[in-house]
Structure 1
Amino acid sequence: MNDLVTLHAPLAGALTAAVRRVLDSGWFILGREVAAFEEAFAAYCGVPHAVGVGNGTDAIELALAGVGAGRGSRVALAANAGGYGTTAVLALGAEPVYVDVDEATATMDPACLDRAGRDGGFDAVLVTHLYGRLADMAALRAVADRHGAAVVEDCAQAHGATRAGRRAGAWGDAAAFSFYPTKNLGALGDAGAVVTADAGVAGRVRRLRQYGWDRKYHQADGPARNSRMDELQAAVLGVKLPHLDDWNARRARVAARYAATVRHPALTLPHVAAGEHVAHLYVLRAADRAARDALAAHLRAAGVPHDVHYPVPDHRQPVHGGRFDALTLPVTERLCAQVLSVPCHPALGDDDVDRVTAALDAFRGAEVTTCTA
């Protein structure tokens, strides 16, 4: 599904120099490299503040804590995004309030969010930009404002996505990014960041990422954790950040080639609007679980990489012990039974795309369809 060796090959000299620079400095945690990347990434996102943390899930947790969510808070979120948001909400001791998604975009439905606000209310909203597509932030923000709730964006799959000149990460009260190696902007290990326009939120996140300290060995805030971006990952991300827009453009061209070449009569391909959708994943939809499984078996036999993002909705995960058994999210549940991802990354060549296309066109199993937006 990804080829990081090919992606990194043209940057080998710069990456080696960055790692050598960190080794020669003798400083490996929260030093100059982290500060430089924080400044550069905040500027890229169009906000004043970025705070480097250990990984993307910590970033969600710390962003939520930074805007005031904590034990007993009710956090509205979608249930089709892999469970990372739920993990963060539960780690805070907060209560997940699952909201159904829009059929066309697979992102949180503003009307469903409004209904959740009327039914039981929520204190914060976690909006995931799924598969690289910006959610309808203007509408979701308006709903959250009506209900007096803070908004946190989960931008783990949407680095660089833009609408009306505003990037992912600049819409909410805070935003969380993952730099897991396969993300549109990936480190060489785990790393994450919280970005925000609010100096108070940034200050709290900085304290909470390091034991709650306001100065060394002086714990002024909490509950806190140890979640610090290291200097090596910051140096690597600093090398890669200037290439992000070009990589996103290549992802969009891969998506466009699929759209231009796939001819299977039962396939309707996703619309990837360059800019608003940075094609982190290219996700097909089948008619149902049986059709999806048949397509997956066909691709496996053809040697074509594929995956399911994501097969089990959060409210059906066994960790809840049946707590949400009575909750029905019809669109979420349908999508989780239908989705299947095929390769879409910057190192994918046109011939690779054509090989995937040929395999899709050769499928003769149950009828499949895909997201039309």
Structure 2
Amino acid sequence: MNNLFEQAYLGMQILKNRYIVAPMTRVSSEKDGTPNERVSEYYERFAKGGFAAVITEGVYPDTKYSQGYENQGGLATEKHATHWKPIVDRVKSHGSLMIAQLMHAGAQSQGSYYSDVTVAPSPFSPPQDKVEVYGGSGPFPTAKELSVEEMTEIKQSFAQSAIYAKQAGFDGVELHGANGYLLDEFLSEISNHRTDQYGGSVENRLRFLKELIEEVRAAIGGNMILGIRISQLKATNGSYKWPGGEADAEIIFSELGKTDIDYIHISDDDAATSGFGEGTMTMSEAAKAFSGKPVIACGQLGDPEKASTVIEKGQADFIGVARQALANPDTPNRVKEGRPLDKWDGKAIMTPKAYIKDFELEM
């Protein structure tokens, strides 16, 4: 398993090992999205535990429609950026990089400090009810269709949020193009029924993502890491697959490979299994083969031997860990020292609305 502890480049930065903390919804900030001491302690423990990089929860980039959950962290104002800076400094003081994941919830927004209106590429209502553990209940409303002018505003808000991330000292930003949120809603034929240049073919449905990448890169310059997270599955439709299978994957990842991103982060149920049917490539393998970009694989890779095999086979360059990181914030240190890993426990969700009464969070 030595390959998990080899150094590797991500953009222009060298990571000390292949372990990265994957984004996880926290709903632990203040009502207006300002991160607090609780958030700071949460992230710092991963850096202390040996992770090479920490990607934040999805943080919303504007004060209009992007927030997805009550008490979700934001990076939409100077105040947000000011309060993220000491958190970033604490993480980096332990030798870890920190990347801000910028997320527009789109039709999957279930709680916002700013608006009751939700938006999507086309009128759309997610197929499952809101997530109770994150404060939601009942069905999602039907989101209103975005105008081209509103889409331009959203691209500008992402760019400004990325600038705030740079001011706060983040090493990079990741665009959340996965799991059924707004960018993924543009990519998916089930939520994008537009008849203009942003709808129809896979290439057209990718157009908004590619324009956004270009705008954010222009805002942050060439030295800061820029990545994108991609999935087939949605938070409200875990069984969804791209209808064209591997053929769609070739188009999507090839087109993303032409952009100025530094990596693709794959979110999957199981990153080590075939992504498009029996005998096909894994999602991460397809992303790497068709894009030529470094790839972070995420999905049931808590077992170090399994994670090491993914690296050994060349299916990915980095391992994203989520639940395993909650259960073991010091996963890299434990693996390197040959110590056992604790099993996942639901208590480790650690959101204010998901506490078990007898559980005390140890920071």
Does TM, scored on the shorter chain, surpass 0.5? no
Q: Which has the larger radius of gyration?
A: 1
Higher helix share: 1
Q: Which has the higher contact order (CA 8 A, sep 6+)?
A: 1
TM-score (ref. length: structure 2)? 0.31
